[in-house]
Amino acid sequence: MKKILLVLFSLCCISTYAQTPSVADKYNVEIVRDSFGVPHIFGKTDADVAFGLVWAACEDDFTTVQWGLLISKGMLGRHMGIDGAKIDYAVQLLRVRQIIEERYETDISPEFKKLLQAAADAGNLYAERHPDQVLVKKSMPVKPQDFISGYMLSMALMTGIDGALNTVVNKQVPEVPLSEQGRGSNGIAMNSKATADGHVYLDVNSHQPLEGPLSWYEAHLCSEEGWNIHGSTFHGAITIFHGVNENLGWAHTTNSFDAIDIFKLEPDPKHKKSRYMVDGKSYKLEAKTVKLTVDLAKKPNKKFILSVGKKAWWSMYGATVVTKQGMYAVRLASNMTIKSPEQWYRMNKSKNFTEFRHALDMQGIVNQNIIYGDKYDTIFIISNGAMPKREPGYDWTTTVPGNTMKTLWTEFLPEDSLAQTLNPACGYVFNANQTSYQQTAMAENPKPENINPRIGYDKDENNRSRRFYENIKQYEGKKITWDEFLKIKYDYKYPAKPAFLKKFDIYDIFDLKEADYPEIAEELRLLHKWDRSTDINDTLATFFIKVMYQLYNNCNGQQEKLYATDAKAKYKFFVESIQKVKAGMLADFGKLTVPLGDYQRHQRGNVDLPTMGGPDLWNAKYGNSIGKGRIKIWLGESFILLAKFTKDGPVFRTVSPYGSSNTPGSPHYTDQMQLYVNNQTKEESLDKKWAYQHAERVYKPGK
């Protein structure tokens, strides 16, 4: 279910299907494709630009654009079969559409509704012009509100709703803390207190899947109403998610806090399946039958559509599941607000820190760290989100009683109460998905005792946070040049003492002594000789990374607990894993010393390149097997934007893993791959003249 739910992060964009081609005449917009195919979208109004952005995204990957639409419409089952129908059920269980309809008129400004309508017009017109590319015909038409669905579902995914629903839907009694999901992304901001030239440096560097609904889409948006920003978004979204405008910029990284609560309801003893008790009073459990449509054929030219009904329940605590073990309700901030797309829009258009900070007060973006820098020498980081205002006296890390109004939180903590750092004396802030109590120099970090403990911030470090502190330490007493900043950003070494799994550290594998384990003495010598580098030519990194994958893939939560307390069992696990990797490498390569670039590949179409990096590094790379002992990178370093803010604004460069188009045969399907593996970037600009000077194609969308 988790893998399928990743598609929730892809945002929908199609609307009113049956329109005339003249709809394009409503919008005064021009798309300039630069030499790398990146769309620079120029419009008279912000709505014009929204029209152009969605049109460009549809041109480059209409299939991915439609994923969010199918989910928000409850039609994924029509496209994917039974697995898709499971997601359709979850969407209806959360009442996403109902919440939007209830709040759309009051919570979304008239100004932003114009953008939603323009984007919908563009998506629909594209669908009308390309009917053969429409995945599910009945998904048309839709309303502008469908965009909001995409954002809400994205927020739910990022806060871990997939894990919570799996827990209750699969009838597991959630009496232990919910497990953490894998997370990635880097962000750094430095100001004149730390930089040699006195400029503000910003690293925007998310770690996302390189293809599919979670892959980034690069664009430049520019209107005569003051919207001028370059960065990345997701196919079908109508704002930039992170990037730079003329005055400021920011990066997002995923933070970790207690964002979702599971409540165990108390059934009414007289009506155990239809009512529940809160403070001694009986309440009716709302129930409805949701219609799920499933394509059992799942073949392009064949359809076998089956409609089935399934019960969905709702209590005052939220989406509720009735199991043999009892009634459980899930409560989360992401389906209590519909403001996230407009908040990103306000952030896009902010002119200074005051305006940017005011946009955060909307609390529509219910999680995500924000690493900020501007041309006024301001840097800032906040572990942002809609943090529930919870009653003290309960263990909010596990299942909470759902029989008292005391646990029914309805408000969020104000933004100024969250972990954050503004203009520290050291001159830098950073995040690499580590604890929110590490944001800057150790002496200036937020103190846990000053933060509401019921937020539930994670307290763990990771490899990247440890390595950052190792790297920054060498610059104590001196300022950092731009080249040194890039060296930190592209670092490809593990720290001296890496941190991997939480319950026990797999890096303890290095504690094994050759004399104690003669059966793997040769392999241990290789590990002990390795200098933690992951350069493409390193012949020792491959063995370690393969061992690490072996350990991760064969370790579950129960084993972690065992290995944390039983050293003998842990070391036996290490030995067995090393032996399996040894056998595999000898079969595939005939040796154990294999250059990392021979094992780790960056592939698309007919391009096949070696690449450096590895799991949980600043130069992050995660791979899936492609046979013969090799892996293809599918997640990690994705869209990268590196900016230097002068007093006149940002000078920046970017790179994407493949190119601006996801259409095979396009010249921009693979044209950034060599830059990517070489840790190089391409020039981009907010200047309109620059775009036209570097234009490969200029056209008016829909005309």
Contact 372, 249 (CB under 8 A): yes
Calpha distance 612→535 (Å, rounded):
5
Tokens of 214: 């979670």
The pLDDT assigned to 174 comes to 32
Calpha distance 391→260 (Å, rounded):
15
Buried b (16+ CB within 10 A) or exposed e, 182-208: ebbbbbbbbbeebbeeebbbbbbbbbb
In the three-class reduction of DSSP (H, G, I as helix; E, B as strand; rest coil), residue 686 is classed as: coil
CA 562, 565, 569, 571 torsion-angle sign: positive
Calpha distance 223→239 (Å, rounded):
13
The pLDDT assigned to 514 comes to 95
The pLDDT assigned to 2 comes to 42
Which residues lie below 8 Å from residue 288, measured CB to CB, with a gap of 6+?
Answer: 311, 312
| The residue to which tokens 């690293």 are assigned | 203
Calpha distance 487→188 (Å, rounded):
12
Domains of the chain as residue ranges with CATH: 186-256+350-489 (3.60.20.10), 506-601 (no CATH)
- Burial of 665 by CB count in 10 Å (0-12 exposed, 13-18 middle, 19+ buried)? exposed
The pLDDT assigned to 369 comes to 96
DSSP code at position 493: B
Calpha distance 493→497 (Å, rounded):
11
Is the pTM higher than 0.95? The answer reads no
Calpha distance 423→189 (Å, rounded):
10
Start-to-end CA span in the chain (Å):
41
Degrees, nearest 5: CA angle 64-65-68: 95
Tokens of 420: 């954050």
Cis amide bond preceding 141, omega within 30: yes
Cross-strand pairs, 295 = 305
The pLDDT assigned to 550 comes to 92
Q: Which helix (H) or strand (E) holds 196?
A: none
Calpha distance 682→241 (Å, rounded):
20
- Burial of 243 by CB count in 10 Å (0-12 exposed, 13-18 middle, 19+ buried)? buried
The pLDDT assigned to 6 comes to 41
The amino acid that residue 49 corresponds to is V
Paired sense of beta strands 600-604 and 607-610, if any: antiparallel
The pLDDT assigned to 70 comes to 83
The pLDDT assigned to 566 comes to 85
State which residues of the chain have pLDDT below 70.
Answer: 1-21, 157-183, 296-308, 501-504, 557-558
Contact 496, 298 (CB under 8 A): no
- Burial of 399 by CB count in 10 Å (0-12 exposed, 13-18 middle, 19+ buried)? buried
Taking residue 105's Cβ as centre, other Cβ atoms within 10 Å add up to 9
The pLDDT assigned to 677 comes to 98
Contact 403, 277 (CB under 8 A): yes
Contact 468, 488 (CB under 8 A): yes
Contact 514, 579 (CB under 8 A): no
The pLDDT assigned to 17 comes to 44
CA atoms within a 13 Å half-sphere pointing along the CA-CB vector of 278: 18
Calpha distance 332→291 (Å, rounded):
24
